[in-house]
Amino acid sequence: MMKVNTEKCIGCGLCVKDCFPKDIEIIDGKAKINNETCIKCGHCIAVCPKDAVSTDEYNMEEVKNYNKEEFSVEADNLLNFIKFRRTVRQFKDKKVEDEKLAKIIEAGRFTQTGSNLQDVSYVVVREGMEELKALTFESLKGLGEYMLANLTPETMRFKRYAEMWVNMGEEYKKNPESDRLFFNAPAVIVVTADSEVNGALASSNMELMTDALGLGTFFSGFFVRAAQDNKKIMDFLGVKEGKKIVTCMVIGYPDVKYSRTVPRKEAQVSWK
């Protein structure tokens, strides 16, 4: 539960003002958290000027006091960092350190979630990459064969993907080094969640952290499709009941160097 140290509390009311579910009140000049409608978002911990609020549900040692030098990011640098981001499909034969993978997951863990559900989970695959590849190529090949055998005017636009999946599976079977799915990357992080929005938001921050660590990544939509309704893949990953695979981040050290950003379409914006 959320608790207030009444010896530290000065009754300023900042926590009351910032509490969205209105679970805090001032009584006799001190803040009181009722823990009735509280969603454990931690805003009261963050806003308190006297560090008077704590919880026994999370690790309070993770709380860091704000200082501009360590917490600020210059806006133009951030925008350029985002613009320079590239999807990477060429990887070095080099293992990704555990500490870097853990930091990527931390970026996901501290991403906001609706109603503070914190429903996002992560599956890291390294030693099991070959098994995951085999299962995924098998699934995609089967999907491709089924689609080609059941083409309709409505599904004709997916014909090229179906043909690609069948060819990829056949090539991989002949030569396991021919990996046009994971591109021989050393690691994968599969992001699962109850809410697809929460999982996608976490994945976006994780990608920024991946780039900041000097790594490269791409989101494999082919894998997500292969895993849908595929019991073998879901069992291999140990995805918990009720959770969906939202993204699959293929991660490694880039074996390609980019020299500039690329252009994009103009933003479609309506100002009201």
Residue 152 shares a structural domain with residue 254: yes
Task: Identify the CATH number of the domain in which residue 222 sits.
Answer: 3.40.109.10
Task: Identify the CATH number of the domain in which residue 49 sits.
Answer: 3.30.70.20
pLDDT digits (tens, 9 = 90+) for 109-118: 999 999 999 9
Residue 22 shares a structural domain with residue 121: no
CA distance 149 to 162: 10
pLDDT digits (tens, 9 = 90+) for 190-222: 999 999 999 999 999 999 999 999 999 999 999
Residue 68 lies in a domain: no
Residue 54 shares a structural domain with residue 135: no
Q: How many CB atoms neighbour CB 81 within 10 A? A: 14
| Cβ atoms 158, 216 nearer than 8 A | no
CA distance 96 to 127: 12
What's the pLDDT score for residue 178? 87
Residue 78 shares a structural domain with residue 54: no
pLDDT digits (tens, 9 = 90+) for 122-131: 999 999 999 9
| Cβ atoms 40, 33 nearer than 8 A | no
Q: How many domains does the chain have?
A: 2
- Answer yes or no: is pLDDT of 180 > 90: yes
What's the pLDDT score for residue 20? 96
Residues 6+ apart with CB under 8 A from 169: 137, 138, 140, 141, 144
Distances (CA, A) of 268 to 83, 201, 265: 17, 21, 9
Residue 38 shares a structural domain with residue 132: no
What's the pLDDT score for residue 242? 87
Which of 38, 62, 86 lies at the terminal end of a domain, its last residue?
Answer: 62
Residue 13 shares a structural domain with residue 129: no
Residue 148 shares a structural domain with residue 81: yes
Full domain range(s) for residue 9: 2-62
- Answer yes or no: is pLDDT of 177 > 90: no
Residue 124 shares a structural domain with residue 204: yes
Residues 6+ apart with CB under 8 A from 146: none
Per DSSP, the residues of 191-207 read: EEESSHHHHHHHHHHHH
How much is the pTM?
0.94
pLDDT digits (tens, 9 = 90+) for 50-60: 999 999 999 99
What's the pLDDT score for residue 122? 98
Q: What is the mean pLDDT of residues 12-20?
A: 98
Residue 39 shares a structural domain with residue 132: no
pLDDT band at 241 (very low <50, low <70, confident <90, very high): confident
Residues 6+ apart with CB under 8 A from 245: 190, 191, 192, 224, 227, 228, 234, 237, 239
Residue 162 shares a structural domain with residue 208: yes
Mean pLDDT of the chain: 96
Residue 158 shares a structural domain with residue 120: yes
Residue 56 shares a structural domain with residue 187: no
- Answer yes or no: is pLDDT of 81 > 90: yes
CA distance 266 to 272: 18
Residues above pLDDT 90, as percent of the chain: 96
Which of 33, 62, 91 lies at the terminal end of a domain, its last residue?
Answer: 62
